[in-house]
Structure 1
Amino acid sequence: MKETLQQLLNNCIEKGSEEELSALAHVLKGFEKKIDHNLPQFIDGLLHLERKIDQEKKICEITVPLNPVWNNALGIVHGGITATLLDTVMGTAIHAILPEGYGAVTNQLNIHYIAPGIGDTLKCKAEIIHHGNKTVVISGEAFRSDGRKIAHATGTFFIIKK
């Protein structure tokens, strides 16, 4: 596996443009962060997630640096990346309040895209609206670095026993 990976890296380094090499470095730094900090999910490292959780207020916030690797053909953050960030912040907020031995999975996610994802960072916030025995309803918002809201989401998550 190490030889195959080394060949892939060498090929990318040899043939890649400066922009492609910058994107590759961003991804590799994310993997390094995941390994060095023993992060629970690959996505945490890949997206360079920084989390803040306020269990008392039932609020979670994540911030990620933007990089062209996450852009669509128009040069703005791909909507799927925004959706992933919103799903992640909402799920993290829910997991923070669940008792030991329980988790939550997305049942329904509704996103309204409002403005293009541009700038240096994206900040996503989530707040629990309703916490029942079997489901949690939550809202989330995504903001770009100039403070403009780019998306609003609501979601329903099933509570499951691990």
Structure 2
Amino acid sequence: MKTSRILTGLALAAAFVTLAPAAAMAATASGPGGFADLSWGPYYSAGKYAKAGGTLSVHGEDDADIPSADKVKVSGKLYDLTSRRVNTCGWAVFRVSYLKDPATVKLRQHAFRNCDPKNWAGFSFTGKDVYQVEFKICAEPKASKPSFACLYQGTWKTLYLAK
């Protein structure tokens, strides 16, 4: 009985440690008229081979029927922190969820690459009727798109979640 209580306590503590930072990082629009300008990052890839950070602007958050923002703009800088001898690139990958109706979630992915360790690469994109914006950063060999390992291993960081 005592062992099960300890294990239950440890499981709850682990869940809290895992979920609390994600909830704290999730941004919501709170300005007048549903407008917010929020900073995100810096975030580092595993091994600190890449770094990204920037701003997220939310306009016209409307939760009357379906929680979503009329317009979301994400912009930032991506750094490749490796040397030129290493053929590695930094990837900033965004997963944007759109809610068209309560039963339909559409996903769109935006990926940005920087293979130049001497210079940062700027990026920007906008979305309409956005429900959620998630982010992931990876460093891996030069390729035309991020690998499955980059996309599907590890966790996504929530940058914005409509409420």
**TM-score when normalising by structure 1:** 0.30
| Highest RCO, 1 vs 2 (Cα 8 Å, sep ≥ 6) | 2
Larger fraction in helix: 1
Larger fraction in strand: 2
**TM-score when normalising by structure 2:** 0.30
